[in-house]
Amino acid sequence: MRNQKLVLFDFDGVIVDGMNEYWNSSLLACEKFLNSNDISIERNLYEEVSDTFKEIRPWVKYGWEMVIIVYEIIKKTNPLNQKNKNDFLFNYHQNCQSILLKNSWVAEDLQKFLNNSRKYQINKDFEKWVQLHKPFYEVLNLIKNAKNKQIKTAIITTKGKIFATRILEKLNIIPELIFGYESGTKVEIASQLSKEHEIIGFLEDRKDTLLEIKKSKITNKIPCFLADWGYLKDTDRINLPNDITLLKLKNIDNLLAI
Ligand SMILES: [Mg+2]
């Protein structure tokens, strides 16, 4: 069924703005599971997302990195803040790795802490947890329109599949396929899907992911769209390759018009 049309969507930053949730869940992961004497967590920290966190979020690829960022922001000594933020970002990936090493942490464990923090909140008060996400209704409508046009939709996210599924159910969005980080990299998933579908678009807010899609021989023909409303770095909009289209929310219908 190579002629079955399919559209791929990233989740965070594209379908929902989950900034409040990332901050709350990562903070709770630090408080409940990290067991570190280097941090102390006051109640009021939960009330407002740190600006430093918001500004660093576009660099994040996997959830566990957010636990590290929050830990660095709330550290008692030499915390990450607006003054030293750019130094941190300059070597973002190496810094994340060296923080893991310094604390003898393993990325998979931090990811589990984040997942457990989410599970804890879902069990305690699902409605409250879900309200931490703000949907982009234009994107929800587009997913519904795709269904009307017999175009399948797949959501590929680097968060756990169960969490994206719970939010989508609440929003009354039922895509044909949902893949979480458990299913492999986005390029691997897109490669698999391209064997049986004609992928007519991939909407994502992480430019590096789209560049990887364009680099792979199997997926480089997939039309790629960078979501202008997502978590973009200032530089992402500059020097965008010709084969990646910057898509604004008001023009989102263009995605199905090709
Ligand atoms: Mg995203």
CA of 255 to the centre of ligand 1 (A): 17
pLDDT value for 1: 54
Q: Which of 100, 130, 160 is the last residue of a domain?
A: 130
Are residues 11 and 23 both part of a single domain?
no
Calculate how far, in angstroms, residue 223's C-alpha sits from the geometric centre of ligand 1. 17
Residue 178 CA: distances (Å) to CA of 24, 92, 117, 207, 245? 24, 29, 21, 21, 24
Nearest-10 crossing angle of helices 186-196, 207-215: 50
| 237 plus 143 within the same structural domain | yes
Give 16 Cα–ligand 1 centroid separation in angstroms. Answer: 9
CA distance 17 to 98: 29
Q: Same domain, yes or no, for 196 and 151?
A: yes
- Do 139 and 253 share a domain, yes or no? yes
pLDDT given for residue 60 in this prediction: 96
Residues 95 and 173 in one domain: no
Residue 91 and residue 23 share a domain: yes
Assess whether 233 and 178 both reside in one domain: yes
Helices (H), the chain: 19-33, 51-56, 63-74, 85-90, 92-103, 107-130, 137-148, 161-170, 186-196, 207-215, 254-257
Ligand 1 centre to CA of 22 (Å) is 12
Ligand 1: centre distance to CA 34 (Å): 25
| Pair 94, 181 in one domain | no
Give backbone dihedrals phi and psi of 50, rounded to 5 degrees, phi first: -65, 140
Give the DSSP H or E segment for 156: strand 152-156
How far apart are the CA of 62 and the centre of ligand 1, in A? 10
Residue that finishes a domain, picked among 130, 150, 183? 130
Domain total of the chain:
2
Compute, in angstroms, the gap from residue 204 CA to the centroid of ligand 1: 6
* Same domain? 138 vs 13: yes
Q: Which residues contact 104 (CB under 8 A, 6 or more apart)?
A: none
The tens place of each residue's pLDDT in the chain, 258 residues long, gives: 578 999 999 999 999 999 999 999 999 999 999 999 999 899 999 999 999 999 999 999 999 999 999 999 999 999 999 999 999 999 999 999 999 999 999 999 999 999 999 999 999 999 999 999 999 999 999 999 999 999 999 999 999 999 999 999 999 999 999 999 999 999 999 999 999 999 999 999 999 999 999 999 999 999 999 999 999 999 999 989 999 999 999 999 989 886
Residue with tokens 């991939």: 202
* Strand 224-227 relative to strand 244-247, pairing: parallel
163 Cα to the center of ligand 1, angstroms: 14
CA 231 / ligand 1 centre spacing (Å): 7
To 10 degrees, the CA torsion angle through 15, 254, 60, 128? -10
Last residue of a domain, one of 71, 96, 130: 130
Q: Residue 220's domain is classified under what CATH number?
A: 3.40.50.1000
pLDDT of residue 258: 60
151 and 231 share one domain: yes
Cα of 114 vs centre of ligand 1, distance in Å, is 17
Q: How far does residue 126's CA lie from ligand 1's centre (Å)?
A: 22
Q: How far is ligand 1, taken at its centre, from the CA of residue 160, in Å?
A: 13
What is the CA(68)–ligand 1 centre distance, in A?
Answer: 18
Within this chain, do residues 99 and 26 fall inside the same structural domain, yes or no? yes
User: Is 12 in the same domain as 49?
Assistant: no
Planar angle of CA 16, 46, 93, nearest 5 degrees: 65
First to last CA, the chain: 20
Supply the range of the domain harboring residue 215. Answer: 5-17+134-257
Residue with tokens 């795709």: 146
How far, in Å, from the CA of 195 to the mean position of ligand 1? 24
How far, in Å, from the CA of 77 to the mean position of ligand 1? 31
